[in-house]
């Protein structure tokens, strides 16, 4: 059953248990696995998607309506969803459990801000985007706002317990 080839470099967030790659703090179920390449990954945490005809390792939190902005390639050639995975300074694959927020605003050039916590800690957009955000503080309340000169700003609160798509249509002031 176990099929770990040993070619992939794993960071501290991932581990091999019973021949299955899983989140380091979790235990995989041998009857629930997925594979992008022949190596087994825990189906409790990961899924494999087809993106442009290629197999991509992703989180089970992936929402089919949200774009994968960045594909990353591991040292052994596996493609992974950059919304959840990264390559650390040692070239090893890391996983970060999170939910993804996509903010759609009209007009498109409005300023989007996302914060959480009592100190209104800002959340930076996912690299290469201006409207997608990784919500790593699971179950935390986030404030999403959109603003533009000449328009009435809008705000909405969400909880990081699932992926979200938030849409704002800003209304012109004085008109």
pLDDT band per the 50, 70, 90 thresholds, residue 174: confident
Q: Same domain, yes or no, for 120 and 139?
A: yes
* pLDDT tens, residue by residue, 101-118: 999 999 999 999 999 988
Instruction: Give me the pLDDT at residue 175, please.
Output: 58
In a domain, 90, yes or no: yes
As for how many domains the chain has, the answer is 2
pLDDT band per the 50, 70, 90 thresholds, residue 3: low
Closest to 112 in 3D by CA, of 148, 140, 160: 148
Find where tokens 């209104």 sit: 120
Closest to 12 in 3D by CA, of 75, 95, 86: 95
Domain end position, chosen among 30, 64, 95 = 95
In a domain, 1, yes or no: no
**Cis upstream peptide for 111 (omega within 30°):** no
Q: Same domain, yes or no, for 90 and 23?
A: yes
Q: What 3-state DSSP class applies to 128?
A: coil
Q: Same domain, yes or no, for 85 and 46?
A: yes
Q: What is the pTM of this model?
A: 0.79
Per-residue tokens: 166: 């938030």
Rg of the chain, C-alpha, whole Å: 19
Q: Is 58:49 a contact under the CB 8 Å cutoff?
A: yes
Q: Sign of the C-alpha dihedral, residues 159, 60, 86, 129? A: negative
Pairing status of strand 141-147 against strand 164-169:
unpaired
Domain end position, chosen among 51, 70, 95 = 95
Structural domain for 159, as ranges: 99-172
In a domain, 3, yes or no: no
Q: Is 49:55 a contact under the CB 8 Å cutoff?
A: yes
For residue 122, give the CATH number of its domain: 2.60.40
Q: Same domain, yes or no, for 158 and 141?
A: yes
């Amino acid at each position: 059953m176990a099929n770990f080839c040993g070619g992939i470099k794993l960071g501290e967030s991932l581990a091999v248990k019973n021949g299955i790659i899983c989140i380091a703090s979790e235990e995989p179920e041998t009857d629930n696995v997925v594979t992008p390449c022949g190596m087994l990954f825990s189906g409790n945490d990961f899924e494999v998607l087809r993106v442009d005809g290629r197999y991509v390792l992703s989180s089970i939190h992936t929402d089919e309506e949200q774009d994968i902005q960045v594909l990353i390639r591991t040292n052994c050639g596996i493609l992974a969803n950059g919304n959840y995975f990264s390559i650390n300074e040692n070239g090893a694959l890391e996983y970060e459990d999170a939910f993804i927020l996509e903010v759609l605003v009209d007009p498109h050039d409005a300023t989007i801000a996302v914060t959480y916590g009592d100190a209104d800690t800002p959340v930076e957009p996912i690299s290469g985007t201006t409207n997608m955000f990784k919500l790593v503080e699971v179950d935390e309340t986030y404030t999403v706002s959109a603003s533009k000169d000449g328009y009435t700003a809008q705000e909405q609160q969400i909880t990081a317990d699932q992926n979200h798509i938030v849409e704002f249509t800003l209304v012109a002031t004085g008109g």
